Amino acid sequence: MEAVGAFLASREVRIFDQPAPETLGDDEVMLRVCAVGIGGTDREIGAFRYGVAPSGSDRLVLGHESLAKVVKVGERVTSVAPGELVVPIVRRPCSSPHCAPCRSGRQDFCVTGGYAERGIKGIDGFLTRYVVDDEQYLVRVPSALARVGVLVEPLTIVSKAAEQARALLARISWRPTRPRGLVLGAGPVGLLGAMAMIAHGLDTFVYSRESATEECARLTESIGAVYISAAETSAKRLAERIGEVELIFEAAGVSKLAFEAFWALTPNGTCVLTGIPAIGHSVDFEMDRLMRSLVLRNQTLVGAVHAGRHAYTEAVDLLMKFMALFPDAVRRLIGELHPLAHAPALLHKRAGIKDVVAP
C-alpha cells in the first residue's frame, strides 16, 4: 500500500510502500481514505521546518485534513457503521493526569504540549489508502457533503475561532444592528472564515495580497463579501478604506499584517489570531499604542489553535449551511482531485486554492 512520507533524517518526501492494516481492536474502525487536503502545515513539514515522526520510526506519513469512508468496525463500535463518511479528529490528548483540558476532551487547550496530531506530530497521517483509528476520534459527515467534506478539518479552525469570539463578545450586552467583520488572508481558511461571517449576518471584508483579478478575489465577491487587495490598500490604511469592524479573523500567518490591520478594530471589538508565522522575522511595531488601545477601548486579542470534537461537529453544520447558501463557491474552493503520485509536488507548489489528493 502506497503512502506519502516525510523522512526526517534524510530530509526527503517520497512515496513508499507500507503494509495495509489488517487487525482491528474492539473500539477501532478501518477507514478507506477518500480525500486529503494539502495545507500550509503540510508544506512546512515538507520543507522540514516542522513535523515529528511516530516513536521508533524514521518517517511521518503526511496528511491531516481528511475525509474517509468506514470499511469495517470493531465489536464495541456503535457510533459509526460501514459505508458512512467520517472526518478524523487531528489532535489527540496528552497522557498527563494533571492536564485538565485533555482529560475533559478539550485537547485543543492542552497545557503540557504533550498532545499528538495525526500527520503532524507523533502519529502517522492519512496520505495513504487505508488507516485504522479509534471510534472516539471520528466525526460523522452526511453523504450530501461527499464532494466537499474534506473541508471540515480546515473549517474547524473557523468554528474554534467563532467559539472564542462568541465567548469574548458575550461580555457586551448590546449588539450593533449590522456587525462588520474583516478577514485577513484569502487562502482556504480565510475564505471559509468569510463564508462563516456572511452566514452569520456580518458585513464582511477580505484583505489579502492577491490582486483583485485572481480567483480568490472573484470567489470572495461571489459570496457577497468585499475583497481588498494589499496592492491597492496598505494594512495600516484599512480603517480609512472600510471603517472599523467588530471582529477581525486573522488567517494569514503574517504578524506584521495582523498588527497593522488591528487599527481597524472598533472599541469593544475582538481580534482572533489563527495563523502561525515563521520564527525569526522581527517586526517594528508600536506596542505602547497597541496596549493603550486594548485597555482604553476594551478590545480583546486572542489566539485559537486546532479543535476538539465540538468544533468538528459545528464545522459539519456550517458546511451544510454553506452548501445551501453558496454551493458553487464552496465547490470552487476545491479544484481537480490529484492522484497520490502528485502529493510530493503539491507540497512545494500550490495548484489551486485548496489542493486535494484522492489516494
Instruction: Say which residue the cell 472526518 belongs to.
Output: 87
Report the predicted TM-score, pTM, of the whole model to 2 decimal places. 0.95
- Average pLDDT per run of 10 along the chain, which is 359 residues long? 96 96 94 97 93 95 98 97 98 96 95 97 98 98 98 97 91 83 97 97 96 94 97 93 96 92 95 88 83 95 91 97 97 94 94 94
Distance between CA atoms of residues 68 and 137, nearest Å: 13
Distance of CA 16 to the CA centre of its chain: 27
- Which contiguous run of DSSP H or E holds residue 107? none
The full set of domains in the chain, from first to last, is: 2-141+333-357 (3.90.180.10), 155-303 (3.40.50.720)
**Phi, psi angles (nearest 5°) of residue 180:** -125, 145
Q: What is the pLDDT of residue 178?
A: 84
Q: Distance between CA atoms of 59 and 46, rounded to whole angstroms? A: 12
H helices within the chain, ranges in order? 40-46, 100-103, 152-169, 188-199, 215-222, 238-242, 255-261, 287-296, 309-325, 327-333, 343-346
Distances (CA, A) of 128 to 91, 267, 343: 19, 48, 11
HSE-up of residue 140 (Cα within 13 Å, Cβ side): 9
pLDDT of 185: 96
pLDDT at position 176, please? Answer: 76
Give the cell for residue 59. 518517517
- 49, 41 in Cβ contact below 8 A? no
Coil vs helix vs strand at 329 = helix
Predicted pLDDT at 284: 79
For residue 192, the model assigns a pLDDT of 98
Q: For position 150, what pLDDT does the model report?
A: 98
What is the model's pLDDT at position 174? 79
CA-to-CA distance for 141 and 68, rounded, in angstroms? 9
Residues paired with 67 in a beta bridge:
35
> What pLDDT score was predicted for residue 172?
85
C-alpha cell at 341: 503520485
**Alpha carbons 325 and 323: distance in angstroms, whole number:** 6
Using CA atoms, how far residue 353 sits from 42, 44, 330, in Å, is: 15, 17, 11
- Does residue 54 sit in helix, strand or coil? coil
CB-based contact 42:345 (threshold 8 Å): no
Task: Give the pLDDT confidence score for residue 353 in this predicted structure.
Answer: 93
